């Protein structure tokens, strides 16, 4: 055989070896991702009382998962405020082969069963927005809920002092079965208790239902006529219910807080009906949860910046929104809410007054 033929044969063998090595590496990578590139991730949200889950959380989580894993499937379910139904949804997701469960619990205590059941099958669990104190989830993603309570409470107290308001405060908390609501409640007390304003009464709102908050506030208006200087409501739904109670009673609406920066709350703020809300861009937590879910799929640990209830966590700091900063923080191009979301015909003049156009 000629030397040139030998060199050709050697080169061919060398290329074959490289291709074989590359194929082996590809096979290794494929093996690592074979259960991941078509994996199922359960995204279990708690209720329909807040519009955010259908409008924002679920679509944003799905979009980020698609960016990270084009072949992955998101199994989205909403429990409609029913803890037993949410447990059934979790069990169904596991039966369908979900590799990660992301859950915003209806009932934080009951969700401990979901955590234990999933982890017994080597399926990691991410607690989303609301913690699960009774069982250690694999990760927790949320805004700092205790800080949220302190921020909305302090914002209201500062406003009442500035306006020399007289009277006391009503405190409308969230659901008694929601550990995040408990943290918000704790934060509110940090602001209200030492404020010098009397805490007239407080209420834990079952399932965060605005109608239940409205009914309770209606009773307090009759009990404390002319004495309610402000209302610290734990979210926009309960804040909206509180405002509706004053409207129905024909009473002047005092400053009322909120949380979640829903479009309806933004409209109430621009019109002066609601004093504040909290901007906690859902895109931030939805993307973070998707990033964490993908990391767990890949056998990696998501990056944490805190520990809460013995769970590695990523907690974000929100922003208080009032009429003074709503144009800069919440509504407009590149912001959480668009002008079209908020500045409908009814609110167009209010938006123009605030420079939101």
The alpha carbon torsion through 148, 208, 108, 95 (nearest 10 deg) reads -120
Domain 40-143+282-316 in CATH 3.40.109.40? The answer is no
Q: pLDDT grade, residue 97 (50/70/90)?
A: very high
Query: pLDDT tens digit string along 218-228?
Result: 999 999 999 99
**Domain residue ranges in the chain:** 40-143+282-316, 145-280
CATH (residue range 145-280): 3.40.50.2300
Q: Check pLDDT > 70 for residue 326.
A: yes
Confidence of residue 334 (pLDDT cuts 50, 70, 90): confident
CA torsion, ordered 94, 139, 188, 217, to nearest 10 deg: -10
Q: State whether residue 142 is helix, strand or coil.
A: strand
Q: What is the value of pTM for the model shown?
A: 0.82
Q: Which helix (H) or strand (E) holds 83?
A: helix 83-95
User: Strand 319-321 vs strand 277-279: parallel, antiparallel, or unpaired?
Assistant: antiparallel
pLDDT at 195 over 90: yes
Is the pLDDT reported for residue 20 higher than 60?
no
d(CA 129, CA 28): 36
Query: Which range is least confidently modeled, 18-27, 92-101, 130-139?
Result: 18-27
Give CA–CA dist 69/303, Å, rounded.
19
Per-residue pLDDT tens over the stretch 287-312: 999 999 999 999 999 999 999 999 99
pLDDT of residue 35: 52
Give the per-residue pLDDT at 36: 75
Domains 40-143+282-316 and 145-280 share a fold: yes
Instruction: Go through 80-100 and write b for each residue having 16 or more CB atoms within 10 A of its CB, e for each that does not.
Output: ebbbeebbebbeebbeeebbb
Structure confidence at residue 27 (pLDDT) = 33
pLDDT reading at 177 higher than 70: yes
CA–CA dist 112, 224 (Å, integer):
40
Rama region for 66: left / alpha / beta (φ>0; ψ in -120 to 50; rest) = alpha
Query: 260 near 280, Cβ under 8 Å?
Result: yes
Mean of the per-residue pLDDT values for the chain?
90
In this prediction, residue 14 carries a pLDDT of 39
Q: Which residue has the tokens 């894993």?
A: 69
What does DSSP say about strands 199-204 and 306-308: parallel, antiparallel, or unpaired?
A: unpaired
| pLDDT average, residue stretch 34-61 | 89
The predicted structure's pLDDT at residue 51: 82
């Amino acid at each position: 055989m000629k030397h040139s033929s030998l060199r050709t044969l050697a080169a061919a063998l060398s290329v074959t070896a490289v291709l074989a090595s590359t194929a082996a590496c590809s096979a290794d990578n494929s093996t690592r991702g074979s259960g991941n590139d078509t994996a199922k991730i359960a995204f279990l949200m708690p209720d329909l009382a807040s519009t955010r889950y259908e409008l924002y959380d679920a679509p944003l989580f799905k979009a980020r998962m698609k960016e990270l894993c084009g072949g992955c499937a998101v199994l989205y379910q909403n429990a409609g405020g029913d803890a037993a139904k949410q447990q059934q949804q979790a069990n169904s997701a596991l039966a369908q082969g979900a590799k990660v469960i992301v859950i915003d619990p209806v009932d934080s205590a009951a969700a401990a069963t979901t955590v234990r059941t999933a982890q017994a099958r080597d399926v990691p669990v991410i607690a989303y927005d609301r913690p699960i104190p009774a069982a250690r989830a694999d990760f927790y993603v949320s805004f700092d809920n205790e800080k949220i309570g302190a921020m909305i409470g302090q914002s209201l107290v500062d406003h009442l002092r500035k306006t020399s308001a007289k009277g006391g405060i009503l405190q409308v908390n969230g659901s008694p079965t929601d550990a995040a609501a408990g943290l918000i409640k704790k934060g509110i007390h940090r602001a209200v208790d030492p404020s010098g304003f009397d805490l007239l009464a407080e209420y834990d709102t079952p399932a965060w239902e605005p109608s239940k908050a409205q009914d309770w506030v209606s009773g307090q208006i009759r009990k404390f006529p002319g004495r309610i200087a402000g209302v610290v409501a734990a979210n926009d739904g309960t804040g909206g219910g509180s405002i509706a109670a004053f409207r129905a009673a024909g009473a002047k609406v005092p400053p009322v807080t909120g949380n979640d920066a829903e479009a309806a709350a933004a409209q109430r703020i621009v019109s002066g009906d609601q004093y504040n809300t909290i901007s906690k861009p859902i895109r931030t937590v939805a993307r973070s949860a998707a990033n964490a879910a993908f990391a767990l799929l890949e056998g990696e640990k998501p990056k944490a910046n805190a520990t809460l209830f013995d769970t590695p966590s990523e907690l974000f700091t929100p922003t208080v929104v009032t009429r003074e900063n709503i144009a800069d923080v919440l509504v407009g191009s590149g912001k959480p809410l668009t002008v079209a979301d908020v500045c409908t015909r009814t609110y167009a003049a209010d938006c123009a007054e605030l420079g939101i156009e």
